[in-house]
Amino acid sequence: MKTDWKQPNRRRLTQVLALGWIGTLLMLALPQISLAATAAEINRDVDIALKTLYQTTPAAKKMAGIAKGILVFPDIIKGGFIIGGQYGEGALRVGGKTTGFYRTIAASYGLQAGAQSFGYALFFLSDADLKYLKSSKGWEIGIGPTVVVMDEGMARTFSTTTAKSGIYAFFFDQRGLMAGLGIQGSKITQIQPDK
């Protein structure tokens, strides 16, 4: 009996493509699910996220004292299989008050599988960088102002005298099984949530 070697490969390719399409459909559905958040819900989640971040990362609390604005995304959902994406909603705080609501969205492809959630906060240390966020019709991280990701080592050596300008990113609350947190290529756009 002759075995056709192409048959198992076709079956495997069909399974991978089907899983990729399912992942894509789920990622397309996530923005519609997440858009149900109201302004009050986003503000509540941002309050909780900042409190947690300041308790666990003293450098973030120090930076808040000199920041011109803080854009907080308390819960980013990331998932995929080969094709993936991430989505979340947050608020911009200037002087401790919410001045706008934003969404972050990103797509990716490559060797990846799993799901996770995490949050991040962007600390804007200059008026120019904050103005860029407010005036852009959609800011893609990696184009425009430079973002410095604060890891544990950098956060330990941080002082307010070493950081006078730029945008600094802090990650927090990582849950799930998917390697590689990143915001490079994420598009941030202003939104108008329900009251």
Considering only CA atoms, which of 143, 158, 167, 148 is closest in space to residue 68? 167
pLDDT at 80: 64
Considering only CA atoms, which of 102, 184, 91, 90 is closest in space to residue 143? 184
pTM: 0.72
pLDDT at 32: 44
Rounded (10°) CA dihedral 89, 95, 99, 103: -20
pLDDT at 34: 43
Domain range for 147 is 6-191
User: Side chain identity at 126, as an amino acid letter?
Assistant: S
pLDDT at 135: 87
Query: Tens digit of pLDDT per residue, the chain (195 long)?
Result: 555 545 555 555 555 555 555 555 455 444 444 445 799 999 999 999 999 999 988 889 989 999 999 999 998 887 766 666 788 999 999 999 999 999 998 876 555 556 677 889 999 999 999 998 888 888 777 666 677 777 655 555 555 555 666 888 898 877 655 455 556 567 888 998 887
- Residue 1 located in a structural domain: no
What's the chain's Rg over C-alpha atoms?
A: 19
Considering only CA atoms, which of 156, 149, 158 is closest in space to residue 121? 149
How many structural domains does the chain have? 1
60 within 8 A of 184, measured Cβ to Cβ: no
DSSP letter (8 states) at residue 143: S
**91 phi, psi to nearest 5 deg:** -135, 150
**38 phi, psi to nearest 5 deg:** -90, 170
pLDDT at 127: 92
Output the six-digit token pair for 4. 């056709």
- Residue 89 located in a structural domain: yes
Q: Beta 97-124 vs 187-191: how paired, if at all?
A: antiparallel
DSSP letter (8 states) at residue 194: B
Which residues, including other chains, have CB under 8 Å from residue 12's CB and lie 6 or more apart? Answer: none
pLDDT at 91: 96
